[in-house]
């Protein structure tokens, strides 16, 4: 009986965790990110064969009909600055991971989580509040206007 219960609990836990990368699991943004979670890191990569950080953001935004350049510094020049307290899903978030200014970008997905292409783990989600990212956080930019947000990033 315990074995059957454990298998049921495991099955239910997998059901409830699969595909729930963000607070907005039913949004187009979340669906597009879920499709590429686990994709390997590839310097200069912009496809499902491998992504670098800005190639990942480019790919996701392209799937929603928006163009981004392929460089985190260039993406940082776009959009409107938004405070950390006002982040909403779809905002780009930027980090200084190299000591040389903007060097990493991810997509905020809600609930203190963001998706990005990690050099060591490929496309993953992390908490923005994790010490590594919190210490290197530079800022955020809102690329999607309210209409695009309603169409792609809200429930």
Write down the catalytic residue from 54, 82, 94, 116.
116
Question: Which two three-digit tokens encode residue 73?
Answer: 């510094």
Write down the catalytic residue from 27, 91, 104, 110.
104
- Residue-by-residue DSSP string for 27-45: SHHHHHHHHHTTPPB-TT-
141: annotated active-site residue: no
Q: Which helix (H) or strand (E) holds 10?
A: helix 2-17
Instruction: Give the C-alpha separation, 116 to 41, whole Å.
Output: 10
Write down the catalytic residue from 53, 58, 60, 123.
53
53: annotated active-site residue: yes
27: annotated active-site residue: no
121 closest CA partner among 42, 66, 45: 42
- Catalytic sites, residue numbers: 53, 104, 116
């Amino acid at each position: 009986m315990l074995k059957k219960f454990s298998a049921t609990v495991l099955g239910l836990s997998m059901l409830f965790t699969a595909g729930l990368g963000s607070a907005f699991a039913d949004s187009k943004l979340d669906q597009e990110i879920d499709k590429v979670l686990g994709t390997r890191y590839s310097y200069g990569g912009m496809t499902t064969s491998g992504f670098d950080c800005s190639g990942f953001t480019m790919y996701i935004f392209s799937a929603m009909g928006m163009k981004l350049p392929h460089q985190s510094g260039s993406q940082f020049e776009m959009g409107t600055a938004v405070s950390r307290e006002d982040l909403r899903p779809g905002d780009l978030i930027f980090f200084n991971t190299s000591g040389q200014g903007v060097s990493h970008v991810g997509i905020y997905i809600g609930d203190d989580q963001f998706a990005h292409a990690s050099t060591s783990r490929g496309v993953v989600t992390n908490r923005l509040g994790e010490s590594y990212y919190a210490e290197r956080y530079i800022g955020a930019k809102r690329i999607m206007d309210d209409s695009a947000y309603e169409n792609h990033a809200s429930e």
